């Protein structure tokens, strides 16, 4: 499958694994890359830049295919030393970076000077246009269906993907709500040249999380996610578990709440512990609406092979309809 995404990233299939906190480790990233997609290590999962250097080397020992590093730039009273993480990426010879959160403009020149391709994740067309002007190479556009932070505009992929593809000159990667070949075909028909998946890759054999979490995703439906932090203008989509229920109750109680009121429930270390222990209701678990499309736990290679075959089949059927030769079957 050749698009500008596959050609610029030197990968076989335009399928990118999202950079997920606590999940984007070498085991998963290398498996996705070995299967022909692009695996992504999550930079801030590593406590220090030196830890990131070691994780990059560990991933490199597990694959000889391209892989990238996600660097999410977050507003914080005690920000991480982002420049040091950037230097770790550069020093390690990584050739692809996925940036997210705040604008990466402070680091774009450094990445460019070292021949690093930049994929920036956005939730709006206006931010995507800004990223394009700043010099990123591709934009991953996140619809409302996605796990994590979908922004505050509440625009789904069916509108957001073609709006971005129409507005941008650089390649668009569709993200949010995609878990199978039908979604991949749909995204590409809407103008995307690649797809990004996070939740679907959590439900694979190589994902470094407890099987209880994976089984919960398989059993979940498209209605089993919840939006939290809405009242704080920092919306996040998560799995609808007991913690999510408690957070929403506090957010919408009379008089509202402050972040400090819910901090003990949503603190990152608690979510990480839940992923590792399998206690589904004991921490925030990020999940997108695509859980309604997940019904098994394959290897990354099995998943990607199946998705590509299904995508090609759906595009072929749709092409037949366009030519008046379709049989009308779904």
Q: What is the pLDDT of residue 299?
A: 98
- How many Cα atoms within 13 Å fall on the side-chain side of residue 64? 0
In this predicted model, what pLDDT tens digit does every residue of 131-165 receive, in sequence order?
999 999 999 999 999 999 999 999 999 999 999 99
The one-character DSSP state at 25 is -
Q: If pLDDT is split at 50, 70 and 90, which confidence band does 75 have?
A: confident
Mean pLDDT for the chain overall: 96
Residue 195 φ then ψ, to 5° = -130, 155
Q: What is the pLDDT of residue 79?
A: 86
pTM as predicted: 0.95
Which DSSP helix (H) or strand (E) runs through 109? helix 105-113
In this predicted model, what pLDDT tens digit does every residue of 239-254 receive, in sequence order?
999 999 999 999 999 9
Q: Which residue is it, tokens 């309809």?
A: 321
- How many Cα atoms within 13 Å fall on the side-chain side of residue 288? 29
175 DSSP β-pair partners: 142, 196
Whether residue 328 is predicted with pLDDT greater than 60 in this model: the reply is: no
Rounded (10°) CA dihedral 287, 288, 293, 297: -30
Q: If pLDDT is split at 50, 70 and 90, which confidence band does 261 have?
A: very high
Q: What is the pLDDT of residue 324?
A: 75
Q: Which residue is it, tokens 């103008």?
A: 191
Instruction: Compute the distance between CA of residue 33 and CA of residue 289 in angstroms, rounded to an integer.
Output: 25
The region that residue 278 occupies, defined by phi over 0 for left and psi between -120 and 50 for alpha, beta otherwise, is left
Which DSSP helix (H) or strand (E) runs through 30? helix 26-34
Which DSSP helix (H) or strand (E) runs through 68? strand 67-73
Q: What is the pLDDT of residue 323?
A: 80
Q: If pLDDT is split at 50, 70 and 90, which confidence band does 78 have?
A: confident
Instruction: Compute the distance between CA of residue 280 and CA of residue 258 in angstroms, rounded to an integer.
Output: 25
Q: Please give the full DSSP string across 136-155, using - where no structure is assigned.
A: -SEEEEEPTTSSB---SS--
Q: What is the pLDDT of residue 27?
A: 98
Name the E strands within 102-200: 117-122, 138-142, 172-175, 194-197
Q: What is the pLDDT of residue 96?
A: 98
Is the CA virtual torsion 178, 181, 182, 185 positive or negative? positive
Q: What is the pLDDT of residue 326?
A: 53
Whether residue 72 is predicted with pLDDT greater than 90 in this model: the reply is: yes
Helices (H) and strands (E) in the chain, counts: 14, 10
Tell me the average pLDDT across 77-106.
Answer: 95
Instruction: Compute the distance between CA of residue 159 and CA of residue 161 in angstroms, rounded to an integer.
Output: 6
Domains and CATH numbers, the chain: 4-209+296-322 (3.20.20.70), 211-289 (no CATH)
Q: What is the pLDDT of residue 100?
A: 96
Q: Which residue is it, tokens 């920000």?
A: 79
């Amino acid at each position: 499958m050749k698009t500008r995404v596959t050609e610029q990233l030197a990968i076989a299939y335009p399928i990118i694994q999202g950079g997920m906190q606590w999940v984007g480790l070498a085991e998963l990233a290398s498996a996705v890359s070995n299967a022909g997609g692009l695996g992504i290590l999550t930079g801030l999962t590593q406590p220090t830049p030196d830890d990131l250097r070691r994780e990059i080397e560990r991933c490199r020992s597990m694959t000889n295919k391209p892989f990238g590093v996600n660097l999410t730039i977050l507003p914080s009273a005690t920000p991480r030393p982002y420049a040091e993480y950037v230097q770790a990426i550069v020093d390690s010879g990584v050739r692809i970076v996925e940036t997210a959160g705040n604008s990466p403009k402070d680091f774009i020149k450094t990445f460019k000077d070292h021949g690093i391709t930049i994929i920036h994740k956005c939730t709006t067309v206006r931010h995507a246009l800004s990223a394009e002007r700043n010099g990123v190479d591709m934009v991953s556009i996140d619809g409302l269906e996605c796990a994590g932070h979908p922004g505050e505009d509440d625009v789904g992929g069916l509108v957001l993907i073609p709006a971005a593809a129409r507005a941008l000159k650089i390649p668009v990667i569709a993200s949010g709500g995609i878990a199978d070949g039908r979604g991949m075909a749909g995204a590409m028909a809407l103008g995307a040249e690649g797809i990004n998946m996070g939740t679907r890759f959590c439900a694979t054999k190589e994902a470094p999380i407890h099987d209880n979490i994976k089984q919960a995703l398989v059993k979940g439906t498209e209605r089993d996610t919840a939006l939290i932090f809405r009242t704080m203008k920092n919306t996040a989509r998560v799995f609808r578990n007991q913690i999510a229920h408690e957070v929403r109750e506090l957010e919408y109680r009379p008089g509202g709440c402050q972040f400090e009121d819910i901090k003990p429930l949503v603190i990152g270390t608690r979510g990480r512990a839940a992923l590792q222990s399998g206690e589904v209701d004991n921490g925030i678990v990020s999940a997108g609406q695509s859980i309604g499309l997940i019904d098994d736990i394959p290897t990354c290679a099995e998943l990607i092979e199946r998705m590509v075959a299904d995508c090609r089949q759906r595009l072929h059927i749709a092409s037949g309809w366009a030519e008046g030769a379709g049989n009308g079957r779904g």
